[in-house]
């Protein structure tokens, strides 16, 4: 009898991995973005690094929604205007935010 192959984390797509996560919402914002500063940001790299797609465009305006944020902090690393205070970033309060169930 043939053995059933084991599925490991490495076999899962990014979408599969993201769908295995759960989130406990925090009613206090843990990330705030001064979107008026973003108007002067030409490349908007935050749009491309966040796997949860916290950052999006609505027309020419940057919008953001922290629901589903994985708390990686990549947006703060790539933000062209972090020194001007475009993003204020912190972890959600204790017990809130992303819950990793796969290690
Ligand atoms: S990279 Fe920073 S300044 Fe540029 S759009 Fe994103 S949050 Fe705004």
Residue 35 alpha carbon, nearest atom of ligand 1: 8
- Whether 72 lines ligand 1, by a CB cut-off of 6 Å, is no
Domain boundaries, the chain: 29-92
Q: What is the tens place of the pLDDT at every residue in 29-59?
A: 999 999 999 999 999 999 999 988 999 999 9
Phi, psi (deg, nearest 5) at residue 17: -65, -45
Q: What is the tens place of the pLDDT at every residue in 11-32?
A: 888 788 878 889 998 899 999 9
Beta bridge partner(s), residue 64? 55
Q: What is the tens place of the pLDDT at every residue in 63-74?
A: 999 988 999 999
- Is the per-residue pLDDT at 5 higher than 80? no
Name the class of domain 29-92: alpha beta
Average pLDDT over residues 97-102: 81
- Is the per-residue pLDDT at 103 higher than 50? no
Q: Which mutation among 43, 45, 57, 66 tests ligand 1's pocket best, with the greatest number of atoms within 8 A of CB?
A: 45
- Whether 62 lines ligand 1, by a CB cut-off of 6 Å, is yes
User: In the chain, what percentage of residues exceed pLDDT 90?
Assistant: 64
* CA distances (Å), origin 66, targets 4, 8, 31, 60, 103: 39, 29, 7, 19, 22
Q: What is the pLDDT of residue 2?
A: 74
Q: How far is CA 55 from the centre of its chain?
A: 8
Q: How far is the CA of 44 from the centre of ligand 1 (A)?
A: 5
Residues 22-59: b if buried by 16+ CB within 10 A, e if exposed: ebeebeeebbebeeebbeebeebbbeeebebebbeeee
Q: What is the tens place of the pLDDT at every residue in 74-91?
A: 999 999 999 999 999 999
What is the C-alpha R_g of the chain?
17
Report the alpha-carbon distance of residue 44 to residue 46 in Å, rounded: 5
């Amino acid at each position: 009898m043939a053995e059933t192959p084991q599925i490991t984390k490495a076999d899962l797509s990014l979408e599969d991995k993201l769908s295995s996560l759960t989130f406990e919402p925090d009613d206090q914002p843990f990330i705030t973005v001064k979107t008026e500063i973003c108007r002067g940001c030409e490349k908007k790299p935050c749009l491309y690094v966040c796997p949860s797609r916290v950052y999006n465009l609505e027309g020419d305006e940057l919008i953001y929604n922290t629901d589903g944020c994985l708390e990686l902090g990549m947006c703060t690393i790539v933000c062209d205007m972090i020194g001007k205070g475009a993003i204020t970033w912190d972890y959600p309060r204790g017990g809130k935010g992303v819950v990793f169930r796969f290690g």
